[in-house]
Structure 1
Amino acid sequence: PPPRGGGGGGGEPIEAVARMSVGRRNAVASRVLNLTMRELFEWRFVQTDPNWGNFLYDAKRDLVSMLDFGAARAYPKPFVDNYMRMVDACTRRDRAACIDASIALGFLTGEESVEMLDAHVAAGFVLGEPFGAAGPYDFAAAQISARVREHVPTMMKLRLCPPPDEVYSLHRKLSGAYMLCIRLGATIDCREVFEEIRDGYDFSPAAAVAGADGGAGAAKLAAGARGRDEPALV
């Protein structure tokens, strides 16, 4: 685990990890992906800027640091609840559950054509594929972006409503995390990362989630999370 104390913010741009060993590349990518999941599903407060320049890596201390919280935003619990349901449905390739969660989120109205539903579900399954795959997932070989783009024209033509406002910033962040995994040539067990978050998720309205007021979420991010396989943030 990264050492405690001493602050963060040192190191070199995280792209430099691409020149390091396979084990180091996979470990760093896994930690960034885990952080992304925790930002949304645990803290509900996400640094939404996908720029890789917001991450530094200190190889001597094995420390990942996050910088610049100007683009951070909070997400309401009902949205996060339904987003968790949608992601979980996509990892299990459950068409009905994916559609139900998508309607609850506002992606769909429930009146869409079969062709539109097919495209929406297919794109969702592609995006959820890393978290449902058994064993290490090769992001570079998966061609996620190209496969999703195949369905975009159909969705743009046939959709009955625009996506919910929250997803624009969120999907930029998720896309950035995926692209970083590709840049690092990472092959990691994403299902293990997701299942740990999902199995501990509390759907109850009374759940105390740090991101509820934004300020607490910001404090969590700024203070960082140090421990087993967890990055330190500054």
Structure 2
Amino acid sequence: MAVDKDDKNNGSKGSISSLKTKPLERNIALARLGMGAGAKIAAHSIANIFRGENRRTQADRDFYERQARILADELGKLKGSVMKAGQMLSLYGQYFLPEEAVAVLSQLQDNTPAVHWKVVAPVLQKSLGRARLAELDIDETPIAAASLGQAHKARRKKDGLELCVKIQYPGVASAIESDIKTLSRLLMMTRLTPKELDLAPVFAEVREMLLREVDYKSERRFTESFAEKLKGDSRFAVPQVIPEYCSDMVLTTTFEEGVSVRDSSVQGLSQERRNKLSWAFLELFLIEFFQWGMVQSDPHFGNYRIRPDGKGGDQIVLLDFGATRVYQRSFINNYAGIVSGAMAHDRERIIKGAHEIGLMKAGFPQSVLDAFSQMCELIVEPFDLHEQGRTPRWLLNAQGEYRWHDSDLPMRAGKVAATNALSVYFRVPPREIVFLHRRLAGVFIMLATLGAELNSHDLLLRYLSPSAQTDG
């Protein structure tokens, strides 16, 4: 694969001027990586014989990081489903990969070069036809690039309407099956996963997810559904799908202006306005899960833009619905039981809900049940009645509102899990949990980035109420 160093599309990285799309050439590239990994493993194992325990531990950590970095670099060059699968491994991997490997693989989320225009232009021509394309002026420099496709800004000539044209990379859909098998073998060859762990369910889920994300017709339906459901809520803006410029591999919507939540124009807003944005973002998640049972599960900041308004009507722009997941009402109700049990410090209710969704199995020691319940009670800390005194005082402002930016809650929850060895019992949780908690973590990061100070106890209780969960 060649990278055009002079073309600085998509940040400081050059654009990829050709893609390995055939299974054979992709397999050869990954096989070379696997053989190299095998040689490095042998050398590392021999060297470990002559190292003391402390040096051996550090050497192992360095080795895992190097192996993961090599893997991530190669996946980034290959693009397509194999890279997206690598991203998913960083999500699932927190349960079974060395932390050094997770840290490196997580960089695949947003650190990828764009593909050169000459690679994606034929996709547009074949999908839409020359007559339709002649109606548009398309900027050949992408405004965003991901593992399965990239987006270009365009203008409709007849009325000047600004559009966003999302183009799927050629060959990625047909390579999914081969990529999954090859990556599974490669992961074993790099020795990044425990030998006794059955990765088949993990890769089955990754395969399903990949097939969903290359299904632009499904993404179009989810985009239209979100737009319809939120059309009366001025806090949110959802792009409008433009059907005549859509196909199996092209999704065109209106271009929606907005800036990153980290932009100075957002960070400089008053506390009141940042709180309103935070409240809206939190409530959106609660509505998606508890009412609609339809959650956009990718919390990447690029999927959310902020549109500041001098009159106080700030909006959140919602983008990219390819990772939307639908949840069954039974799962939602049982998960609500865990959350409501944690809010009430009712450990019997917590354990019952965990059993019902398959997160917990019969025969777990009482110490594990207690530690799991303690962790659940800790996780709902931002929603507690803070006057009860369970929340650390330094996390509350003068009005008793929770200060998300100053919270170290994820670290404290992780400490409870590590201290009680919960990972031994919860090796890989149900896939519904993985993706739900992915978005939940994104909510926490978003509110922390906005510097939210909120009392959201009543908000959560409202959506936990069975009477609120009616819009499935």
Calculate the TM-score normalised by the size of structure 2: 0.41
Q: Distance in 2 between matches of 1:130 and 1:106?
A: 26
Q: 1:4 to 1:86 in 2, by over 3 A?
A: closer
Q: Deviations over 1:107-165 (max 9, x none)?
A: 111321122112211111111122223452122333111111112231012x1664222
Match of 1:111 in 2: 363
SS at match of 2:286: helix
CA 6–198 in structure 1, closer or farther in 2 if over 3 Å, else same: closer
What is residue 220 of structure 1 aligned with on the other side? none
Local SS of the residue matching 2:262? helix
Per the alignment, residue 222 of structure 1 pairs with none
| Structure 1 residues not aligned, in runs of 5+ | 210-234
Question: Per-residue deviation at 1:201?
Answer: 3.8
Aligned partners of 2:236 and 2:318 also within 8 Å: no
Structure 2 gap ranges (5+): 1-231, 240-255, 387-399
Q: 2:348 aligns with which of 86, 93, 96?
A: 96
Change (3 A) 1:22 1:112: same
Q: How does 1:1-234 map to 2 (within 5 A)?
A: 3=234, 9-16=256-263, 17-60=266-309, 61-134=313-386, 135-153=400-418, 154-157=421-424, 159=425, 162-199=428-465, 201=467, 209=472
Q: 1:54–1:66: 8 Å Cα contact kept in structure 2?
A: yes
**Contact 1:90-1:129 within 8 A present in 2 as well:** no
Query: Which residue does 1:227 correspond to in 2?
Result: none
Q: 1:179 to 1:7 in 2, by over 3 A?
A: closer
Counterpart amino acid of 2:380? G
Alpha-carbon distance, 1:82 to partner: 0.4
Larger relative contact order, structure 1 or 2 (CA cutoff 8 Å, min sep 6): 1
Looking at structure 2, the residues matched to 121 and 149 of structure 1 have their Cα atoms a distance apart, in angstroms, of 13
Give the structure 1 partner of residue 115 of structure 2: none
**Which deviates further from its counterpart, 172-181 or 187-196?**
187-196
Partner of 1:224: none
Deviates more, 1:96-105 or 1:8-17: 8-17
Change in 2 beyond 3 A, CA 1:200/1:28: farther
Cα deviation, 1:159-181, whole Å, max 9, x if unaligned, reads: 16642221111100000101111
Structure-1 separation of matches of 2:283 and 2:235: 19
Counterpart of 2:414, as a letter, is R
Report the number of matched residues.
205
User: How far 1:6 moved relative to its partner?
Assistant: 8.9
Deviation at 1:46, TM superposition (A): 0.4
TM-superposed deviation, 1:50 = 1.1
Q: Which amino acid aligns with 2:261?
A: I
TM-score, scaled relative to structure 1 = 0.79
Taking only the aligned residue pairs, the percentage that are identical comes to 26
Deviations 1:48-106 (Å, cap 9, x if unpaired)?
00111211111124211110001111011110110111111111121111111111111
Q: Do the aligned residues in 2 keep the contact of 1:41 with 1:201 (CA within 8 Å)?
A: no
The AA in structure 1 aligned to 2:257 is G
